[in-house]
Amino acid sequence: MDWNAWRRRWLTEPLYRRMRNSVSPLTAFQRQVLSAGDAWWEAQLLSGRPDWGALTYVRPAVLSAGEREFLDGPVAELCARLEQARNQGEELAAGALWPLLREHRYEGMAIPAEHGGLGLTAWAQSELLRRVALRSVSVAYLLAARFVFGPAGLLMLAGSEAQRDHWLPRLAGGHESGAVASFAVENDIVPIQATGVVLRENACSHEDAVLRLNWSGARHAPGPRPGLLVLPFRLHDPDGVLGQPGERGVCVALVDTSTAGVVHYPGSCSWRNSGQGAAHGPHGDAAPDMARGGVFDGHDVQVPLAALVGAPAAIDRGLPALLATQSVAKGIALPALSSASVSLAAHASSAVLRLQGDGPGSETLGARSRLGRLAATAYRIEAGRRFLSAGLNLGYRPVLTTALLDLGIFDEVRRSMGDSMDLLGGSGPTPAPALAEWQEGLHELLPTLFGLDGLAAKNRNTAVLALGVMRVHPYLVEELEALGRPDTDEGCLAFDRLAWKHAGAAGGALTRAIAGAWTRGRFSSCPRLLGPVTRHYRRVNRYAAALALLVEILQPGVRPVETRSEPALERLLRALAALVSLCAVLKRWQDDGRHNADLPLVEWCAADACHSIDNLMESMLENLSVAGAGAVLKGLLLPPGMRSPAPDDAVTLECAQLLLVPSDTRERLVGTVWASHGLRHLGALERAYECVVNVQGLREQIRQAGLKDWRLAHVRGGLTDAQAAALEAAETAVIAALRGDEAAS
């Protein structure tokens, strides 16, 4: 008996027919999206057996001598100008900001040196944004939206040689500026308001064909009017000039905004329906509102076919390249801005609590627990920034890893905002200037993050899963291709080869997941000689195996990833985000030198991540549609006594203490916040913190003597004149910092 023939006839063919009728084949658009970016560490996790050697030997990102010179020169000058304006109670005017940016060629920071740019690496760009965000979140957002998210990355990845030679030197020298179009209404990332048609002026020739574009409401980032607009649109080629006639899917064009038919509305959309628009806007470009960006409309704009990214042979590369470069930009910008703001919040909160150390605020468990959580969150976000920058510097464009870390960042920033507001809530409705400066920056952060992300919550599942889970799965995409083949015999043979390998892999995933759950991953492989954090690597192995199994349960054999938000998929994403974040924390601890003093932060992050994954897995299993399957899997994957508890109070208090007491760990955690910082009120807060720390021993002596006032102790001879002067100076510094007196300057 031929087992293979029997299997194909009685098992594979019925399964193939059933799935072919119920599963939609991959569309051309889905293939474009799936080809965007690269698979990196997420592929290791979703395999269920992460190869830690692939991560252990990834070197942390470092700055080159040229990058350090740029950060210490032009970037330091920009920071000084921002500090000077803030100290005067003002914002740096756009008229002063943009000439400074042009002078130092910020537009070219992501453009390689051979094209006249600065050639900054992803880590250098991230560090630049972080330093600026510590002074002004709004200016850091402007730099990110205009320069990091600009067209340079797309041109380098998918632009033709002629396109690169034409645009990159102009962008790098500041002679032109560029922007990527962003639309108010989006459908699965791709704007539906932009369309293009290939037209032939001569019916007998393809040589003089042009592209006619129409769009409405293409927003660009704040700043001067861009000379180059990167426009994604839906292409229709009725005559088959570019290949097969008909719809060609989503393509990307490089539009010179001086072309006839392009209308610009600078700063606001208020003129768009007034009939006053002109090719360069209703008021020209003499005085645009550069702080608010602008809007482009296009009416029968004709551009040559050479303006298509990837033209003429690879126009379908435009969308994947755009998605990949925008993912890289998010991986640079969002963690940088978030790390700066949350670190600043942690430092300011710890300083205020220490300044109020004689009162009840710093002694309550509630205050210290919030401060400890804030400290661990700052550590985790910075770990994610370093982790992602290391991957980007290696040349990866990890779309899924970026999306997962960004998803976690949103939740962490929201929680940090609440914690820090609770800690500083006693400042009243009119907070001190130091706290007002900090609160203003934190309030700017969340809208900024959503503005940079550009994906509505209802579409996030589609983007992440289509670009990630389906891509890294070893069989799912090929199975869908086999189901969509016109020749059913060939499709069935291909499906037979894949489906049973897939079944074997799913069985292996089930075995690993159950074994890991019942042994806490004790027998799984992990890096050696890591001492107290070894068990956390094993926990990652355990949850990686469990999530790989859940991917098999939720995705294959039913439908491909659909363009809708499903609660089960949302929980899966959040669990994956927590696991990637934990890997970043472990990587940071190793790269920092394996300091035992930092272990409370690592312990807190590990406990929080594992507890979250347990809860999310429980919710996924309880809501499985197959009756009884959830209860069985819950007993296998989350056995009694093997659940991960939330971070305990002792670890949380240890994390808080790391911020309240000067130490090397505190410097590693938030020390760079104050390095070369010139903001007057925030600087006064730090100086007051140092004064309070210096006299802490004297305060303890006074307290042990049963006295409440250092002046009484001085009168009774318990303090020398020098000690009394130090206590008085500390008291004055605290009052000046919290009230914002001129003495603070």
Q: Examine the pLDDT at 355 and tell me if it is beyond 90.
A: no
Whether the link from the prior residue into 312 is cis, omega within 30° of 0, is yes
| Pairwise CA distance, residues 196 & 248, whole Å | 10
| Most confident region among 24-28, 398-402, 668-672, 717-721 by mean pLDDT | 398-402
Nearest to 342 by CA among 402, 419, 407: 419
Nearest to 410 by CA among 448, 383, 373: 448
Q: Which two tokens stand for residue 591?
A: 């790269």
Surface-to-core class of residue 1, CB atoms within 10 Å of its CB (0-12 exposed, 13-18 middle, 19+ buried): exposed
| Pairwise CA distance, residues 104 & 117, whole Å | 11
| Pairwise CA distance, residues 349 & 369, whole Å | 12
Surface-to-core class of residue 161, CB atoms within 10 Å of its CB (0-12 exposed, 13-18 middle, 19+ buried): exposed
Q: Would you state the torsion angle of the CA atoms of residues 713, 718, 721, 722, taken in this order, to the nearest 10 degrees?
A: -110
pLDDT computed for residue 207 by the predictor:
65
pTM of the predicted model over 0.75: yes
Q: Which two tokens stand for residue 245?
A: 């006639």
Could you count the other beta carbons within 10 Å of the beta carbon of residue 579?
A: 27
CATH of domain 178-308: 2.40.110.10
CB 29 within 8 A of CB 249: yes
188: left (phi over 0), alpha (psi -120 to 50) or beta: left
| Pairwise CA distance, residues 415 & 2, whole Å | 61
Q: Tell me, which fold does domain 65-153 have in CATH?
A: Butyryl-Coa Dehydrogenase, subunit A; domain 1 (1.10.540)
Q: What values do phi and psi take at 252, rounded to 5? A: -130, 135
Q: Alpha-carbon torsion 555, 558, 563, 565, what sign?
A: negative
Show contacts of 157-165: CB within 8 Å, 24+ apart. 157/321, 157/324, 157/325, 158/309, 158/310, 158/314, 158/317, 158/318, 158/321, 158/322, 159/254, 159/309, 160/306, 160/310, 160/311, 162/306, 163/254, 163/306, 163/309, 164/115
pLDDT greater at residue 136 or residue 595: 595
Residue 50 Cα to chain centre, angstroms: 22
Q: How are beta strands 195-200 and 228-237 bridged, if at all?
A: parallel
DSSP of 635-693: HHHS-TT-PPPPPPHHHHHHHHHHHHS--HHHHHHHGGGTTT---HHHHHHHHHHHHHH
CB 625 within 8 A of CB 596: no
Which H/E stretch holds residue 97?
Answer: helix 94-103
Amino acid at 542: R
Find the radius of gyration of the CA atoms of the chain: 29
Q: How are beta strands 209-220 and 195-200 bridged, if at all?
A: antiparallel
Residue for token digits 């290791």? 44
pLDDT computed for residue 31 by the predictor:
81
CB 56 within 8 A of CB 590: yes
| Pairwise CA distance, residues 134 & 337, whole Å | 8
Q: Which two tokens stand for residue 698?
A: 């004297």
Q: What is the mean predicted confidence (pLDDT) over 628-645?
A: 91
Mean pLDDT over the full length of the chain: 82
Name every residue whose Cβ is closer than 8 Å to that of residue 528 and which is 6 or more positions away in sequence: none
Nearest to 292 by CA among 224, 218, 370: 224
CB 346 within 8 A of CB 550: no
Could you count the other beta carbons within 10 Å of the beta carbon of residue 18?
A: 11
| Pairwise CA distance, residues 204 & 156, whole Å | 35
Q: What is the mean predicted confidence (pLDDT) over 358-378?
A: 76
pLDDT computed for residue 556 by the predictor:
40
- Domain ranges within the chain, ordered by starting residue: 3-34+473-655, 65-153, 178-308, 322-463, 673-744
Name every residue whose Cβ is closer than 8 Å to that of residue 559 and which is 6 or more positions away in sequence: 22, 23, 24
Residue 189 binned pLDDT confidence (cut-offs 50, 70, 90): very low
Q: What is the mean predicted confidence (pLDDT) over 641-660?
A: 92
Q: Examine the pLDDT at 434 and tell me if it is beyond 70.
A: no
The predicted-structure confidence for 440-483, as pLDDT tens digits, reads as follows 655 666 666 655 554 444 454 455 555 567 788 888 888 888 88
Q: What is the mean predicted confidence (pLDDT) over 656-671?
A: 84
Residue for token digits 């229709």? 236
pLDDT greater at residue 658 or residue 424: 658
pLDDT greater at residue 568 or residue 376: 376
Q: Which two tokens stand for residue 426?
A: 């006693």
Longest Cα separation, the chain: 107
Surface-to-core class of residue 709, CB atoms within 10 Å of its CB (0-12 exposed, 13-18 middle, 19+ buried): exposed
Residue 743 Cα to chain centre, angstroms: 40
The predicted-structure confidence for 292-319, as pLDDT tens digits, reads as follows 678 999 999 999 999 999 877 788 888 8
Q: How are beta strands 246-256 and 190-191 bridged, if at all?
A: unpaired
The predicted-structure confidence for 400-426, as pLDDT tens digits, reads as follows 889 888 888 888 888 888 887 777 665
Q: Which two tokens stand for residue 312?
A: 């003429």
The predicted-structure confidence for 7-40, as pLDDT tens digits, reads as follows 888 888 898 888 888 777 777 777 887 888 888 9
pLDDT computed for residue 60 by the predictor:
92
The CATH number of 322-463, from 2.30.29, 1.20.140, 1.10.10, 1.10.3720, is 1.20.140
pLDDT computed for residue 426 by the predictor:
52
Q: What is the mean predicted confidence (pLDDT) over 560-571?
A: 62
pLDDT greater at residue 84 or residue 544: 544
Nearest to 63 by CA among 127, 118, 106, 113: 127
pLDDT computed for residue 680 by the predictor:
67
The lowest-confidence range among 70-84, 418-432, 450-464, 586-600 is 450-464
Residue 155 binned pLDDT confidence (cut-offs 50, 70, 90): very high
